[in-house]
Structure 1
Amino acid sequence: MRHFELMLGLRYTRAKRRNSFISFISLASMLGIALGVLALITVLSVVNGFQKEIRAKMFGTTAHLEVQGMPQLQDWPAVRTLARQQPHVLGAAPYVESQGLLSWESNVKGALIRGVDPALEGQVVDFAGHMRQGRLDALQGGAFNIVLGSQLARELGVYVGDKVVLMAPDGQVTPAGVIPRMKQFTVSGIFHMDYNIVDANVALIHLRDAQKLYRLGDAVSGVRVRLDDPDRAPTLRLQLLAQLPRDTYATDWSLQNASYFRAVQTEKVMLTIILTLIIMVAAFNLVSTLVMLVTDKQADIAILRTLGAKPGSILAIFIVQGMITGLIGTALGVVGGVALSLNIDVLIPWLERVLGMQLVPPEVYMMSTLPSDLHWNEVGWIAAISLSLSFVATLYPSWRASRVQPAEALRYE
Structure 2
Amino acid sequence: MNLELFIAKKIHFSKEGDKQVTPPAVRIAMIGIALGLAVMILSVAIVIGFKKEVRNKVIGFGSHIQITNLDSNVSYETSPIAVNEAVLTELSHTDGVNHVERFATKPGLLKTDSAFQGIVLKGVGEEYDWTFFRKNLKSGDVFTVSPKESGTSVIISKYLADRLSLKVGDGFLTYFVQESVRARKFTITGIYETGFLDYDKLFVIADIKQVQRLNGWEADQVSGLELYVDNYARLDSISEQLYFSYSEKKDRNDNTYYVRSIKELNPMIFNWLDVLDINVVVILVLMMAVAGFTMISGLLIIILERTNMIGILKALGHDNRGIRKIFLYISFFLIGKGMIWGNIIGIGLCLIQSKFQPISLDSSIYYLDAVPVDINILTWVLLNIGTLSVAMLMMLGPSFLITKIDPAKSIRFE
Q: Give the alignment's TM-score, normalised by structure 2.
A: 0.77
Compared CA separation, residues 187 and 196, structure 1 to 2 (3 A): farther
Shift of the alpha carbon at 1:281? 0.7
Contact in 2 for aligned 1:140/1:206 (Cα 8 Å): no
Shift of the alpha carbon at 1:326? 1.1
Structure 2 Cα separation of the partners of residues 127 and 301 of structure 1: 65
Task: Return 281-290 or 123-132, whichever deviates more.
Answer: 123-132
Structure 2 Cα separation of the partners of residues 341 and 134 of structure 1: 33
Compared CA separation, residues 221 and 293, structure 1 to 2 (3 A): same
- Tell me the equivalent position of 2:394: 393
Compared CA separation, residues 319 and 242, structure 1 to 2 (3 A): same
Compared CA separation, residues 394 and 225, structure 1 to 2 (3 A): closer
- Tell me the equivalent position of 1:251: 260
- Tell me the equivalent position of 1:103: 111
What percentage of residue pairs aligned between the two structures are identical? 18
- Tell me the equivalent position of 1:224: 225
Compared CA separation, residues 6 and 142, structure 1 to 2 (3 A): closer
- Tell me the equivalent position of 1:6: 5
- Tell me the equivalent position of 1:238: 244
- Tell me the equivalent position of 1:38: 38
Instruction: Give the secondary-structure state (helix, strand or coil) at the position aligned to 2:337.
Output: helix
1:153 aligns with 2:178: no
What amino acid is aligned across from residue 399 of structure 2 in structure 1?
Answer: S
1:116-156 CA-to-partner distances (Å, cap 9, x unmatched) read: 4xxx3434556896682584549998887654233322222
Shift of the alpha carbon at 1:199? 4.0
Shift of the alpha carbon at 1:206? 4.6
Contact in 1 for aligned 2:34/2:340 (Cα 8 Å): yes
Compared CA separation, residues 163 and 139, structure 1 to 2 (3 A): farther
Q: How many residues align?
A: 390
Contact in 2 for aligned 1:323/1:394 (Cα 8 Å): no
Shift of the alpha carbon at 1:40? 1.7
- Tell me the equivalent position of 1:405: 406
Aligned pairs (5 A) from 1:9-28: 9-14=8-13, 23-28=23-28
Aligned pairs (5 A) from 1:168-247: 168=177, 181=181, 183=183, 185-192=185-192, 194=194, 196-197=196-197, 198-207=199-208, 209-211=210-212, 213=214, 218=218, 222-227=223-228, 229=230, 231=234, 233-234=238-239, 235-244=241-250, 245=254, 247=256
Compared CA separation, residues 220 and 152, structure 1 to 2 (3 A): farther
Instruction: Give the secondary-structure state (helix, strand or coil) at the position aligned to 1:85.
Output: helix
Shift of the alpha carbon at 1:384? 1.6
Unaligned runs of 5+ in 2: 73-77
Shift of the alpha carbon at 1:202? 0.7
What amino acid is aligned across from residue 192 of structure 2 in structure 1?
Answer: H
1:53-78 CA-to-partner distances (Å, cap 9, x unmatched) read: 44545544433432222135455144
Structure 2 Cα separation of the partners of residues 255 and 334 of structure 1: 38
Contact in 1 for aligned 2:63/2:227 (Cα 8 Å): yes
Task: Return 390-399 or 122-131, whichever deviates more.
Answer: 122-131
Unaligned runs of 5+ in 1: 173-180, 353-358
- Tell me the equivalent position of 2:295: 286
Structure 2 Cα separation of the partners of residues 156 and 377 of structure 1: 47
Shift of the alpha carbon at 1:30? 0.8
Contact in 2 for aligned 1:326/1:386 (Cα 8 Å): no
* Aligned with residue 309 of structure 2, among 287, 292, 300: 300
Task: Return 239-248 or 398-407, whichever deviates more.
Answer: 239-248
Compared CA separation, residues 239 and 410, structure 1 to 2 (3 A): same
Compared CA separation, residues 320 and 243, structure 1 to 2 (3 A): same
- Tell me the equivalent position of 1:67: 67
1:122 aligns with 2:113: no
Structure 1 Cα separation of the partners of residues 280 and 362 of structure 2: 22
Contact in 2 for aligned 1:195/1:367 (Cα 8 Å): yes
Structure 2 Cα separation of the partners of residues 104 and 326 of structure 1: 65
Structure 1 Cα separation of the partners of residues 90 and 369 of structure 2: 39
Shift of the alpha carbon at 1:23? 1.1
1:246-291 CA-to-partner distances (Å, cap 9, x unmatched) read: 5442223343245434433431342143134223212111111222
